[in-house]
Amino acid sequence: MSRLTPSPSSSPQGSPQALPARFGPYLLLHRIARGGMGDVFLAKTGGSMGIEKHCVVKTLQDSFLEDEHYVARFIEEARLVVQLSHRNICQVFDVGRVGHAYYLAMELVLGRDVRSLQMALFERQVPLPEAVALHVAGELLDALDYAHRHCDPTTGQPLHIVHRDVSPQNVLINFEGEVKLIDFGLAERGRALTSDAVSAGEHTVLGKIAYMAPEHARGEVVDARADQFAIGVMLYELLTAERYYTGRSAEQVWTVVGTGRHEPPRLAQLEPTLQAILRRALDPDKRRRFGTCGELRDELLEFARTREAHAGGRTLRQLMNELFAGDLQATRELLQRAARRSPATLTSAPPEGAGGRVIQSFATLADTTLVPDPTEVIPRTALVLAEAPGRRARTLLLASVATAALLSLVLAVAYVALQPAAPPPRAAAPPPPTPTTAPPTPSMAPTDNALSALPPAPKAAATTKPAGAGADARPRRDPPTPAPPPTMTVARKMAALKQCDAGCAPELRRWEGRLGEHPDIMAFKVALDACFRACSDP
């Protein structure tokens, strides 16, 4: 991904307000992204005695407040998420309302997610050191063990928190090499979150299929051992630089994940002790896995000790600063520019529509547009409602805590630099010839490998439509058109498009089967929606 350079913010069409703008206790400095749930801003708070703190503020669209049952369902979730305080969990520290706008404030994490780290290493043909992979897994297991054991502070009763969506996109690494788990919004016990969820019996399947435990994919009520399975999948991918389900399409993954009858090709090539640890964590029968994530962590730490793999954290910090040095510098320049802005002339303003053009970066692509990858069941959307009195006059505190964008976008501030032109999609590149949807099978193959160096995404406005496709096949620029209708999943759209004439066939074939590996999921969404409109419009 090319380095983006900052440019001045400007008000989007239809908004009278520009940034910076005062918003309750926060000064909104820069809009990071606009997603289906709302806007995400770089902000700062404080100012007394010259002491300020940067953070991320996520606002919620009013349309999500209409369903009272939907809102009330997440009252307990809000209490769960705000209570979590661990060095390896990205902290949500404030929720509230300013006027009609509800918001959530969280820790600012400057860095990248694990998937981006994998992609960067693959592009350079550099393997991830074993010590780093073990370090990342150990930090995540420590965070999960803490969350799983967390008790209500007033009653002492265990809360039985389960993450249910542990995946590389939900793990951030900052430039100090610190590992942060995000997106605890799915941490409620087996409840459906949106109408886009895929039901299995009476329960709802949430999260990314490629990292689901078999019992999770079957729609059963899950416990902490489902998170353990996801860590096992992630660790395998970090160690081998290939997908756990490599060589399988999304449809094929669906057929095997619920049974657990899948052995990744390189598992048997791992060191015997490490192989045995992973096999236990990945056992299809959860009763045969480790009792807790803490037990799995201890086994991995002991293995690392025997291998003298003690420098994982230090090596990770060095990798982040070497691979993403340009992003770190761009972030510093942006924060310096924001610090020079004087708030003296600012007036209070609602966040809706405020700020510059939407920033395109890896963290804004997959989730803010509510487009799941092929192994992701639904967009992770949730509402949070709570009450908290105090000087900040926080009432009916409602915000979004489940969407990966909400927390992944904390990470996006590392590249919170505007593209010189809107809309966000990047420059066009000729699509590779793909006569069939079957991906190549060799290890490290570019179309089916998690670390694949895929070609740049096509420019959305120049979608590869054949001659004769109507003008409606071009995506609308401002604002980005949401997928019609909201309850129609990507899988259903793709199935519908297969019945369409040849106008969409080349685009569909080019993306099908490798959607989850491409860093620019937004380009797929734009192309898919354009084709869908062209086929659906009378």
CATH number at residue 362: 3.30.200.20
Locate the DSSP E strands across 115-184. Answer: 171-174, 179-181
| pLDDT on residue 471 | 38
Domain's final residue, options 383, 415, 447: 415
Residues in CB range of 50: below 8 A, 6 or more apart: none
Q: How far apart are CA 108 and CA 183, in angstroms?
A: 14
Higher pLDDT residue, 56 or 33?
56
With respect to residue 14, please indicate whether it lies within any of the assigned structural domains.
no
Structure confidence by residue, pLDDT tens digits, 188-199 = 433 333 323 333
519: three-class secondary structure by DSSP: coil
With respect to residue 360, please indicate whether it lies within any of the assigned structural domains.
yes
Whether 161 and 253 map to the same domain: the answer is yes
Whether 85 and 32 map to the same domain: the answer is yes
**H/E stretch holding 113:** strand 111-113
Q: How far apart are CA 524 and CA 507, in angstroms?
A: 9
Q: How far apart are CA 431 and CA 477, in angstroms?
A: 22
Whether 499 and 352 map to the same domain: the answer is no
| pLDDT on residue 50 | 72
Which residue range is the domain that position 138 belongs to? 111-316
Catalytic choice (39, 165, 448, 520)? 165
Domain's final residue, options 253, 286, 316: 316
Whether 117 and 246 map to the same domain: the answer is yes
Higher pLDDT residue, 38 or 248?
248
| pLDDT on residue 244 | 95
Whether 349 and 409 map to the same domain: the answer is yes
With respect to residue 90, please indicate whether it lies within any of the assigned structural domains.
yes
With respect to residue 7, please indicate whether it lies within any of the assigned structural domains.
no
With CA atoms as reference, report the closest residue to 411 among 454, 452, 366, 373: 366
With respect to residue 11, please indicate whether it lies within any of the assigned structural domains.
no
Structure confidence by residue, pLDDT tens digits, 331-372 = 888 888 877 764 544 444 544 444 333 322 223 323 322 223
| pLDDT on residue 419 | 34
Whether 325 and 290 map to the same domain: the answer is no
Structure confidence by residue, pLDDT tens digits, 305-320 = 999 888 899 999 999 9
Domain's final residue, options 295, 316, 337: 316
With respect to residue 129, please indicate whether it lies within any of the assigned structural domains.
yes
Mean pLDDT value of segment 259-277:
95
Whether 337 and 350 map to the same domain: the answer is yes
Whether 91 and 205 map to the same domain: the answer is no
With respect to residue 15, please indicate whether it lies within any of the assigned structural domains.
no
With respect to residue 189, please indicate whether it lies within any of the assigned structural domains.
yes
Q: How far apart are CA 280 and CA 229, in angstroms?
A: 9
Higher pLDDT residue, 227 or 96?
227
The yes-or-no verdict on residue 51 having pLDDT over 60 is yes
With CA atoms as reference, report the closest residue to 57 among 501, 355, 389: 355
Whether 403 and 435 map to the same domain: the answer is no
Mean pLDDT value of segment 368-385:
30
Q: Say how many domains are in the chain.
A: 3
Whether 215 and 309 map to the same domain: the answer is yes
Query: Is 62 designated active site?
Result: no
Whether 165 and 304 map to the same domain: the answer is yes
Q: Predicted confidence band at 524 (pLDDT cuts at 50, 70, 90)?
A: low
Whether 337 and 476 map to the same domain: the answer is no
Structure confidence by residue, pLDDT tens digits, 212-236 = 999 999 989 899 999 999 999 999 9
Mean pLDDT value of segment 276-302:
98
44: three-class secondary structure by DSSP: strand
Residues in CB range of 67: below 8 A, 6 or more apart: none
With CA atoms as reference, report the closest residue to 26 among 95, 79, 88: 95
The yes-or-no verdict on residue 173 having pLDDT over 60 is yes
In the predicted model, what is the mean pLDDT of the chain? 67
Q: Predicted confidence band at 95 (pLDDT cuts at 50, 70, 90)?
A: confident
Q: Predicted confidence band at 483 (pLDDT cuts at 50, 70, 90)?
A: very low
